Structure 1
Amino acid sequence: MCSSVIQVDVIVPSHTKYLDLIGSIGERIVKELDGYTGDREALAYQLNLVLTEATANVIKHANDDQHKDTVRISIHLQRDQLIIKVYDHGQGFDLDKVPAPDFDHPTEGGMGLFFIRSMMDSVTYTRQTEYNVLEIIKNL
């Protein structure tokens, strides 16, 4: 789809006021998709939501005292895939044990991973030596 490769690495302060900035980066990347024939508006919305939710989760749940000041996001756009990696230094969690939202009794919060999983093609969460990585892949 896209003839060029784009790599964007973003480190922002661990504060919710930067969520709009992170979401808008996703929207802007969609504009750079040469030859993309899908619904650009829908993809821009999805990337905004996914980046915002993933970053908000790190800010809220996943930074230890030593690394609490920043959130790192890596966005890699290649020919037919968009790969997003969100890094955290928290205790980590088991992605497979995150319960599905209770749609009969909705609560505030708890929908982010559900949205990410339903909009993207692959979502994994792995523990590395010094950090955790939420990897999100969207096939283009």
Structure 2
Amino acid sequence: MCSSDIQVDVIVPTHTKYLDLIGSLGESVVKELENFSGDREALAYQLNLVLTEATANVIKHANDSNHKDTVRISIHLQDGLLNIKIYDHGQGFDLDSVPTPDFDHPEESGMGLFFIRSMMDAVTYTREGDCNVLEVIKYIN
């Protein structure tokens, strides 16, 4: 069981040059875990990928290339529950209607949500006030 309690909130412009920074936040959180007996390298990779993919989706789809907008990322770890929320101001989408990728004929894009769902324990997409929120949960033990 992890006894770490970590809260990180970051707001960045919706521009791809910030993707490396956002991905490295996940890796930094893993470094701070106390009493974590799992594979730190694998978890760091997963969190980097999830944060990078989710933020890239916001930049690509939620803001119509309007670089004046921002994306907020909130990472909270408490009592072995890692909760990540990515806030956007786009029109939103139906998470359940996103198809599983065609692995026989893979395309250049369209894999991000599949990877996020595969690596995390729960994924939801809801509306909170004037924002859409992609929430991902990972149980850390």
**What TM-score does the superposition give when structure 2 sets the normalisation length?**
0.94
* Large movers: runs of 4+ above 6 Å: 64-67
Corresponding residue number in structure 1 for 2:74: 74
Q: Structure 1 residues 12, 101: closer, same or farther in 2, change over 3 A?
A: same
- The separation in 1 between residues aligned to 2:5 and 2:24, in whole angstroms, is 19
The match for 1:137 is 137
- The corresponding residue for 1:103 is 103
Q: CA deviation at 1:93?
A: 0.6
- Superposition map of 1:1-140 within 5 A: 1-63=1-63, 68-140=68-140
Which residues of structure 2 form unaligned runs of 5+?
none
Letter in 1 for 2:20: D
- Contact 1:125–1:133 (CA<8 Å) still a contact in 2? yes
CA 1:104–1:76: 2 relative to 1, 3 Å: same
Amino acid aligned to 1:112: G
Cα distance in 2 between the residues matched to 1:52 and 1:117? 14
**TM-score scaled to structure 1, two decimals?**
0.95
8 Å contact kept, 1:124–1:136: yes
Counting aligned pairs with the same residue, the percent is 80
**Is this contact kept in 2: 1:30–1:44, CA < 8 A?**
yes
Q: CA RMSD in A?
A: 1.5
Q: Is the 8 A contact 1:2 1:35 kept in 2?
A: yes
